[in-house]
Chain A
Amino acid sequence: MRYLLLLSVLLVPACERRTTDRTLVFWCSNNAGEIAFAKEFTEQWQRRRPDKPLRFQPIPEGQSSEEIILASVVGKTTPDIYANLWQGNVEMYARAKVLVPLDTLKGFLDFIRTRCDSSMIREITSTDGHIYQVPWKVNPIMTLCNPRALAARRAPQPPYTYSEYLKAGAQFRFDRNHDGYTDQWLGYTEVKPIWYQRLFNFYPLYLAASNGAPLIADNRAAFNNRYAVEVFRFLQELYRKDYFARERLSATRDPFLARRIATQFTGPWTIGFLEKFKDPGFEYETYPMPVPDDHRGPVYTYGDPKNIVIFNTCPDPQAAWEFVRTLIDRPGDLRLMELTGQFPRRQGLNSDPYFAGFLRKNPRLVPFARQAQYIRGVDNCEVIVEVFDIISQEYQACVLYDRKTPEEAVRDAARAVDVLLGN
């Protein structure tokens, strides 16, 4: 691993420019949809602004894009613009002073206020008061259900509160081959202890229960509350009663398509997969995350946001911003949806007539578009990965192995996070 990183540091300059010319370099993701998107907008820019040359390049291959970006920062070979940075990494780079504070660029604040609501702007504002990231695209985590399978077992149908979901679990759990072991569960969510898996189970449930409350506020753990405890208890019950599978099912045929589970927490990327591989007649629907029984108001979730940044090696940040702006105005956002099937992070997406045609043509994506109005990213915290790791440790102890009560697990996690944050 260490050698890979070193190799990346050595190789990244080889595939990078940095000659004396002032051509701006834009790194995009290396999937086909985003490459097509980047190509189209780069060509448009070149036609419109020949005085500000710009070229795009898919991010070099590596174990992960985070690793490549880190290697390029270390090697001082960063692109000028990078689209696809996980929001949780921005604060670390901002503190290292390798990002351009975008709010210092002409026209940025005016534009961003038309695209984002005030809570979104608060979320992307760094601890030093500057904004270093442009909210770009999201993949809201929601509950996918197989209504026919649920009906066949007379299980309650979604949308779910915790008690309805647990009732559905009791009805749906089944020992198909009568060997004394459950082999049909209500749901499955990854049980690996790695921190980022909590972004797809604990965290969206916590946001749903708490109406989008933060984990970290004023440099302290803010999750030692009834919402986190309820989420831990809810998940603990699902595993304790065998409504969720404890074993990793990822190495088998997709359990949702194989009807071994009836629900899953996932994002819009699953839709393409399901449409491609589903059996004829297989039906599924999309709903918000389960919430506590007394929940009121909209149901928030984790949006898995990926944002755009400009690195401080950029020779012309103002021109770079002008280009970024073309990616995220309304035509840019529409093309993003058309070419990649992903959602722009902009207010009013679901009600804006400009996007209505696309959503009419893609009805499977409509619930995600609606949900995109009620999403959160992660808190701006330099050690957010460690925060999730601490939560993940307690999640294992409480939810999966029943070694702690939800109250103890949440309290211990909050204490550990406070120590981590120097309190």
Chain B
Amino acid sequence: MRKDKWIPYGLVAPYILHFAVFVAFPVVFSVVLTFHRWNIISPMEFIGLDNYVRLFKDRLFWQAIYNTLRFLVVHIPLQIVVALALAELLNRTVRGASFFRAAFFLPVIVSGVVVTILWQQLLGYNLGLLNRLLTAVSLPRVAWLDDPDIAMYSIAVMATWKNVGLYVILFLVGLQTVPAQYYEAADLEGATDWQKFRYITLPMINPTIFTVVVLSTIGGFSLFIEPYIMTEGGPLNSTLSAVMYIYQQAFQYYHMGYSATLGFFFALLILGVVMLQRRYIEQEN
């Protein structure tokens, strides 16, 4: 009897151990780090709230946050519109639908580094394919990645292309759960395609939209690979994302305490934004 009592504990012990070592300890350690100065190789030095004070004065960190928001403002709506449009098309009876589904999903499973390098070649100023096409039709070249006002939007378009396939599948699943009778009833009432979309489809797939918004927000906030490889945060820090800045502080300058502070603050920021989104969408419902 006594032996049986310990069996459940034994069964959950591996997970608890994994959780303690790889989740709980790093989180607690990161919080402790935020009150210290530490470059990995020298002993930690307690500095109280200095890292937090520095964070609020750090112009570059706020620029990185601003850059990330600029990315999100383009990326999320674009992602939703494009994914929903493609899902709508695929939801109709089109020839080769399974081919298109696979084609749209392909970039999702290709390595982010490979996709990024490919787009870097497409968007090059002198030799990029896009500018060559523009030149061929006598249009001026565009500095897609070299103009501080444009570079982040180029990255947002690229990231949308890379991830849209996943959201197409989510929307497709959402669209297929809408009962056909609703559309039949709307047809009998003489509703237009737009009215059916606006008053039937959109409300019915609201939970999917919420999922897509949350997933793209969290994914967008963790923007790293694209600017790291394509622009290294330039030009003029215009594509420096918050995660990239946190990475630089930790692994370029070894400011582990400050980097942990930035990470901690940034996690709270993401949590706040997602909560706001949730509240807004619930109110809309």
Contact = CB atoms under 8 A, between A and B. Distances in A.
A73 B41 contact: yes
Interface stretch (B81-89, B97-105, B120-128): B120-128
Nearest to B250: A2
Contact of A98 (B41, B127, B237, B250): B41
Given A179-B135, A386-B253, A193 B234 contact: yes
Contacts of A98: 41
A93 B40 CA distance: 11
A128 interface: no
A397 interface: yes
B40 A74 contact: yes
Given A181-B141, A401-B148, A246 B125 contact: yes
B233 A245 contact: no
Contact of B235 (A5, A245, A386, A396): A396
Q: Which of A95, A383, A401 has the most CB of B within 10 A?
A: A401
Contact of A247 (B39, B127, B254): B127
Nearest to B146: A246
B41 A5 contact: no
A397 B40 contact: no
A170 interface: no
A98 B40 CA distance: 12
Contact of B236 (A2, A183, A194, A397): A397
B41 A1 contact: no
Contact of A403 (B232, B233, B236): B236
B247 interface: yes
A385 interface: yes
Contacts of B126: 181, 183, 245, 247
B253 A385 contact: yes
B125 A92 contact: no
Contacts of B41: 70, 73-74, 92-93, 96, 98
Given A245-B126, A251-B121, A252-B127, A192 B251 contact: no
B125 to A, nearest CB: 4
Contacts of A228: none
A2 B40 CA distance: 12
Nearest to A73: B41
B124 A247 contact: yes
A143 interface: no
Interface in A162-207: 179, 181, 183, 192-195
Interface in B216-235: 232-235
Contacts of B125: 246-247
B263 to A, nearest CB: 10
Interface residues of B, number: 26
Nearest to A246: B146
Contacts of B135: 179, 181
Interface in A228-250: 245-248
Contacts of A92: 39, 41, 254
Interface in B103-149: 120-121, 124-127, 135, 141, 146, 148
A23 B107 CA distance: 52
Contacts of A193: 232-235, 237
A219 interface: no
A269 to B, nearest CB: 22
A357 to B, nearest CB: 44
Contacts of A1: 247, 250-251
Please tell me the size bucket of the interface on A. 20 to 34
B251 A393 contact: no
B285 interface: no
A400 interface: yes
B252 interface: yes
Nearest to A248: B124
A103 B141 CA distance: 59
Nearest to B135: A179
B283 interface: no
B42 interface: yes
Interface string A31-63: 000000000000000000000000000000000
Nearest to B126: A247
A236 to B, nearest CB: 14
Interface string B58-80: 00000000000000000000000
A383 B252 CA distance: 11
Interface string B233-262: 111110000000001001111100000000
A247 B146 contact: yes
Contacts of B235: 193, 396, 400-401
A385 B236 contact: no
Interface string A383-418: 101100100010011001101000000000000000
Interface in A92-144: 92-93, 95-96, 98
Contacts of B121: 251
Contacts of B247: 1
A125 to B, nearest CB: 21
B236 A401 contact: yes
Contacts of A386: 253
Nearest to A97: B42
A194 B232 contact: yes
A248 B237 CA distance: 17
Given A193-B233, A251-B121, A396-B236, A385 B40 contact: no
B207 to A, nearest CB: 34
A98 B39 CA distance: 13
Nearest to A197: B232
Interface of B: 39-42, 120-121, 124-127, 135, 141, 146, 148, 232-237, 247, 250-254
Given A70-B254, A93-B41, 11 more contacts: A5-B251, A73-B40, A74-B41, A193-B233, A195-B252, A247-B127, A247-B146, A385-B253, A386-B253, A401-B148, A401-B236
The 10 closest A-B pairs by CB, nearest first: A193-B234, A96-B41, A247-B125, A96-B42, A247-B126, A73-B41, A192-B232, A194-B232, A193-B232, A74-B40
7 contacts: A1-B247, A73-B40, A74-B41, A192-B232, A193-B232, A247-B127, A397-B236
